[in-house]
């Protein structure tokens, strides 16, 4: 699947395919399935905390600014996110730099809350279950 994602005002062509898990393992020495599941869980926790904070602000009658809600994702998760985003972009646009630091340097800001959900959607679309299990659970 291909998707154009706007990063820092620039159109970035992202691509996910069956080659991504192998490319990720070869480039970063990690399992993308494990990393994406961990990232998704952490993002869900952050979204829950954001919603709870917003509700608490409403109860107290104080304004809630979602732009001021800070990311509580651990540094290693941010690095995993950068790696995955880089690989999807490099796969979608081979003219991108071979070095991830060089790739990151082309962006002024890199807002995880704007881009991470789109990256997760791209990954989930490509990896959704397309067949039904032959054996029902519990039998």
- What is the tens place of the pLDDT at every residue in 105-137? 888 776 666 788 888 888 875 565 444 545 555
Burial 72-91 (b: 16+ CB within 10 A, else e): ebeeebbebbbbbbbbbbbb
Partners of 7 in beta bridges: 10
The answer to whether the CB of 69 falls within 8 A of the CB of 53 is yes
- If you search the block for the tokens 């608490």, which residue do you land on? 56
What is the pTM (predicted TM-score) of this model? 0.76
* pLDDT tens digits along 43-59: 888 888 889 988 999 99
Q: What mean pLDDT do residues 65-91 have?
A: 84
């Amino acid at each position: 699947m291909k998707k154009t994602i706007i990063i820092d005002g620039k159109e970035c062509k992202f691509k996910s395919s069956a080659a991504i898990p192998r490319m990720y393992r070869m480039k970063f020495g990690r399992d993308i399935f494990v990393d994406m599941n961990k990232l998704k869980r952490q993002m869900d926790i952050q979204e829950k905390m954001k919603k709870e904070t917003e509700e608490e602000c409403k109860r107290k009658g104080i304004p809630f600014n979602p732009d001021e809600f800070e990311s509580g994702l651990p540094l290693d998760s941010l690095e995993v996110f950068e790696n995955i985003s880089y690989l999807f972009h490099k796969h979608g646009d081979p003219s991108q730099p071979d070095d991830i630091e060089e790739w990151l340097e082309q962006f002024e800001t890199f807002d995880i809350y704007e881009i991470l959900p789109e990256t997760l959607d791209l990954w989930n679309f490509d990896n959704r279950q397309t067949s039904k299990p032959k054996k029902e659970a519990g039998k």
